[in-house]
Amino acid sequence: MNIKVLGTGCPKCQTLEKITRETVNEMGLEAEIEKVEDIMKIMEIGVLQTPGLVINDKVVMSGRLPSKSEIKNLITQNN
């Protein structure tokens, strides 16, 4: 599984990365988690509002900070 956390480094983006890593660990999954901070790369992916979350090359959320349970559901649905 490949997960990308998209954001330029704002507090919400940092929080999304933290809770995504925690959720993956709690679920006992093997996943490569990448933080993408380059705004040009973020725009190439198709996200115009950060933070954003991409699972297996599919944008699953952008423009807000989801709860940990929502992240768990997104991972389960897109695994």
List active site positions: 10, 13
Of 58, 31, 33, 41, which Cα lies nearest the Cα of 7? 41
Give the CA diameter of the chain: 32
Whole-number Å distance between alpha carbons of 28 and 49: 29
